[in-house]
Amino acid sequence: MIAGLIRLCDDFSLAEDVVQDAFSRALERWPEEGVPPNPAGWVATAARRRAIDLVRRAQRFREKAAVLQRLEETELDVNPVMLHGEDGPHDDRLRLLFTCCHPALSMEAQVALTLRIVGGLTTREIARAFLVADTTMGQRLVRAKAKIRDAGIPFRVPVGPALEPRLDAVLSVLYLVFNEGYATTESEPLVRSDLCDEAVRLARLLMELMPRQPEVRGLLALMLLHHARRDTRVADGELVLLEDQDRARWDRAAIDEGAALVEEALRQRRVGPYQIQAAIAALHAQASTSGDTDWPQIVGLYTVLERIRPTPVVRLNRAVAIAMAGDVPSGLALLDRLGEEGALDRYHLFHAARADLLRRLGRAESSRSAYVRALAVCSHPVERRFLERRLIEG
C-alpha cells in the first residue's frame, strides 16, 4: 500500500505518514464503531484522503496539480497482510504502545494516549478516571496526537540498546495506570478499580507480545498480587493493614497466577526491580497468617533491590523488613540514618514506620512524637484517621 502511494505522490515520507495516520485513526475508531467490512480498503481510503489533504495544503506553495489528479483518479492496491501482522516487534499494537509511551510526550499524555488508543477507553472514561473535565482530557489527547504527527515520533519498537530504556518507559506508564486505580480509597472507587483491571489487561497484552522480557512478566505478577487483596484493603472507609487483612477473602487464583509468573520470570535469569517487588509481594500473599511471613527472605530480596535501585523508599522498606525479621534495633538504626539524610522528611510512612518500631521497643514517648510528625505531613483523610488511631492507642 505504501509502495502504491509513493508511486502516486513521489514522496516517501508523505506516503508513510498518511498510512501511519490512517492506522492510528483505524485503531482509534474501530473499537467504538466496529471493524468495517473491508478493513484494508478502509485504511487505504483514509490514507489516500489524508494524502489529498496534505498535497492540497502544500499546493499553496507549489502547483502539484498533476499529483493531485493522479491521486484522485487512481484506486490503490491494498495489501491486507499489513493489517494482520502478529510477528513480534512488527505487531501494530506493540508499535502503538511504544509510540504512545514515547518519552518525548509528557507522562500525563502517555497515560491518556495509552488508555485511549491501545486500551480503547473513551475520552470520557479516561477523564472520569483521572478526575478531569472531558474537554481537558480531549484537548490533552488532541495535543499529544498532534505532537506524534508533527514531531515525527516513530511508529516503531526500538531495537538493540535503545529497547531497554523505552521498555522501562512503557512499564512505568502501565504501573502508573495501575497505581492510579490502586492508591485511591475514596472518590469513585468503582471507576478507579477499572483502571487496575485495564492496567492488568494491557500488561497481559504486552507479555503476549514480548514473552522474552522478564520485567514485563514481573510487572504483571506484581499487579496481580496487589490486586488480589483489593477487597480487603479498606473496611468501612478505613485502611486495613496487611497484617490485619482477612486472608480468606484474598483472590486465590490471582495470587497463584502472580506467584507462577514471578517464578517463570526469575528463571529467565535477568533480574529487575519489578520481578523483585513481585517476589516480595508473593511472599506476603502466600503466607497463611501474617506471623508465617518469611521475613528473612524478604530482607534478602530488599537487599538485592537496594543494590539495583538504592532509593530512600527501598531502603525504608528494607529497614522495616529487618525489624519484622526480629532485629528491631538494627531496623531502627537504619531508619535513623535515613532520617538524618532528610530525603524522607515529608513522607508520612517513614515517620509512621519509625513510630511503630519505637513503640515495639517500648519507647512510648518517642513513638508518639514520631506519629505526630507523620500526621503533620499526611494529607489523605483515610490515612490520617489511621495514624490518629495509632497515636491514641499508643
Q: Can you tell me the distance from the alpha carbon of 262 to that of 139, in angstroms, rounded to the nearest whole number?
A: 39
Write the CA distances from 32 to 44, 83, 92, 128, integer angstroms.
20, 18, 18, 18
- Does 53 bind another protein (CB under 8 A)? Our answer is no
Is there a contact between 340 and 306 (Cβ–Cβ < 8 Å)?
A: no
**Residue 18, interface with another protein (CB under 8 A)?**
no
Q: Which is nearer to another protein, 38 or 139 (CB)?
A: 139
Told to check if 103 binds another protein by CB under 8 A, we report yes
User: CA-CA distance, 305 to 162, in Å (whole number)?
Assistant: 23
How many residues bind another protein (CB under 8 A)? The answer is 24
Residues 63, 75, 77, 246: which binds another protein (CB under 8 A)? 63
Q: How far is the CB of 67 from another protein (least distance, A)?
A: 12
Q: Shortest approach of another protein to residue 381 CB, angstroms?
A: 33
How far is the C-alpha of 390 from the C-alpha of 371, rounded, in Å? 8
Q: Return the residue of 2, 6, 52, 153 that touches another protein, per CB under 8 A.
A: 153
**Choice from 147, 233, 368, 380 touching another protein (CB under 8 A):** 147
Q: How far is the CB of 161 from another protein (least distance, A)?
A: 11
Stretch that binds another protein, among 44-52, 102-110, 178-186, 214-222 (CB under 8 A): 102-110
Q: Strand locations in 171-326, DSSP E?
A: 234-235, 238-239
Task: Please tell me whether residue 146 binds another protein under the rule CB under 8 A.
Answer: yes
Among 78, 97, 105, 220, binds another protein (CB under 8 A): 105
Which of 69, 106, 135, 136 forms a contact with another protein (CB under 8 A)?
A: 106
Bridge partner list, 239: 234
The C-alpha cell at 293 is 511471613
What one-character DSSP code corresponds to residue 115? I
For position 62 contacting another protein by CB under 8 A, the verdict is: yes
Under the binding rule (CB under 8 A), the answer on residue 154 touching another protein is yes
Confirm if 224 and 257 have CB atoms less than 8 A apart.
yes
Pick between residue 145 and residue 315 the one whose CB is nearest to another protein. Answer: 145
88 near another protein, judged by CB under 8 A: no
What secondary structure, in 3-state letters, does 235-260 show?
Answer: ECCEECCHHHCCHHHCCHHHHHHHHH
The answer to whether 170 and 97 have CB atoms below 8 angstroms apart is yes
Nearest approach, Cβ of 143 to another protein (angstroms)?
Answer: 6
Closest C-alpha to 377, from 357, 351, 355:
351
**CA-wise closest residue to 344 among 302, 384, 374:** 374
Return all residues near 2 (Cβ < 8 A) that are at least 6 apart: 15, 16, 19
Q: Looking at 32, 60, 212, 253, which residue binds another protein (CB under 8 A)? A: 60
Q: Are strands 238-239 and 234-235 parallel, antiparallel or unpaired?
A: antiparallel
- Smallest gap from residue 177 Cβ to another protein (A): 18
Is the CB of 14 or the CB of 358 nearer to another protein?
14
CB of 162 to another protein, least distance (A): 7
Q: How many residues does the chain have?
A: 394
Of 235, 114, 142, 113, nearest to 185 (Cα)?
Answer: 235
CB 168, min distance to another protein, A: 11
Interface with another protein, residue 100, by CB under 8 A:
no
The stretch near another protein (CB under 8 A) out of 67-75, 152-160, 265-273, 298-306 is: 152-160
**Long-range CB contacts (within 8 A, 24+) of 283-291:** 284/225, 284/242, 285/225, 285/228, 285/229, 285/250, 285/255, 285/258, 285/259, 286/255, 286/259, 288/247, 289/247, 290/242, 290/243, 290/244
C-alpha cell at 251: 483472590
Pick from 80, 88, 165, 381 the residue near another protein by CB under 8 A: 165
When asked if residue 308 is in the footprint of another protein (CB under 8 A), the reply is: no
DSSP H helix total and E strand total for the chain: 19, 2
Under rule CB under 8 A, residue 330 binds another protein: no
137 touching another protein, by CB under 8 A: no
Q: Which is nearer to another protein, 109 or 322 (CB)?
A: 109
Site for another protein (CB under 8 A): which residue of 33, 73, 87, 150?
Answer: 150
Site residues (vs another protein, CB under 8 A): 13, 58, 60-63, 102-106, 109, 143, 146-147, 150-154, 156, 158, 162, 165
